[in-house]
Amino acid sequence: MKSLIVLAHPEPLSFNAALALAACDSLQSQGHEVRLLDLHAPLFAAEEHPRHFEVRKDPARFDAMAEQRHSADLDALSPQVQAGIDDLLWADLVVLQFPLWWFGLPAILKGWLDRVLVYGKLYSSANRLSAGVLRGKRAMLSVTAGSSAAACCHDGQEGDTRLILWPIHYTLHYVGFTVLEPALYFGVRGGLTGEAAVVQRRQLEEALRIHRARFANLATTAAIPFNTPEDWDEQRKLRPGARVHSPFIRHTNDWQG
């Protein structure tokens, strides 16, 4: 198996970096090929911008999707973007390793997805979801949060972390990935001293052990369910009786549906 681990944390000694290395070690110990992509070394240019397109379809007005497709058709994508595409096409498993920042992706990882999931190359209207270019490949999020697990659950003050991650999971599903259940690690924050720091260190050491074991037993990790093509009507609305997997796509127009 070939695995790509994408690390989005600016500190090489961070717990996120330790998780990425633990996953690498676990996979390599099983004889798998692994590529570790640290987006901060060298720094990935996160924002989509006209300057990234040397050969423009329309120099007068910037349409990101149109320019992505134009450069893809001409094999004229920027080297950083083309390298990201090559990595995704190479990998059987893609792991996105990141801290939850402001209830979402760090900017550098969001920008990597914005730029590397190129329209006309990795998806189009005819190549998405069950017909996505990356179908047959698996993807998984490995995420840290500073708050406790209790605060990050469905009735916690920070909100349901799994629900927060749904748009990212759906993005991966949209380009064809089979999306695995995420690895979630809570209470990962700095500034602790004394006994609290000692307790956290033990917790993080145990989390690393669990993380290594997770990748040693990846076959037991369940895939996240999404609606299938048969679940949609001609207007791309959920058919009556189709199963609901998330509040983001549901039959009723209330939060209890």
Cα–Cα dist 85/67, whole Å? 16
Answer for the pair 144, 16: CB distance below 8 angstroms, yes or no.
Answer: yes
Q: What is the mean pLDDT of residues 26-46?
A: 94
pLDDT reading at 125 higher than 80: yes
Who contacts 155 (Cβ-Cβ below 8 Å, separation ≥6)? none
pLDDT in tens, 175-184: 999 999 999 9
The pLDDT value given to residue 42 = 86
Is this model's pTM higher than 0.85 or not? Answer: yes
The pLDDT value given to residue 255 = 59
Nearest to 181 by CA among 132, 208, 228, 142: 142
pLDDT in tens, 206-254: 999 999 999 999 999 999 999 999 999 999 999 999 999 988 999 987 6
With helix as H, strand as E and coil as C, how does 33-96 read? EEEEEECECCECCCCCCHHHCCCCCCCCCCCHHHHHHHHHHCCCCCHHHHHHHHHHHHCCEEEE
- 2-226 topology per CATH: Rossmann fold (3.40.50)
Q: What is the mean pLDDT of residues 107-134?
A: 94
Answer for the pair 2, 93: CB distance below 8 angstroms, yes or no.
Answer: yes
Q: What is the mean pLDDT of residues 116-137?
A: 93
Cα–Cα dist 47/191, whole Å? 31
Domain locations in the chain as residue ranges: 2-226, 228-257
Residue 256 banded pLDDT, cuts 50, 70, 90: low
Cα–Cα dist 80/119, whole Å? 16
When mean pLDDT is compared across 112-116, 143-147, 197-201, the lowest value belongs to: 197-201
pLDDT in tens, 41-92: 988 899 999 999 999 999 999 999 999 999 999 999 999 999 999 999 999 9
Helix (H, G, I), strand (E, B) or coil at 256: coil
Q: What is the mean pLDDT of the chain?
A: 93
Token pair of 46 as six digits: 């996160």
pLDDT reading at 257 higher than 50: no
Nearest to 250 by CA among 239, 101, 182: 239
Q: Pairing state of beta strands 93-99 and 178-179?
A: unpaired
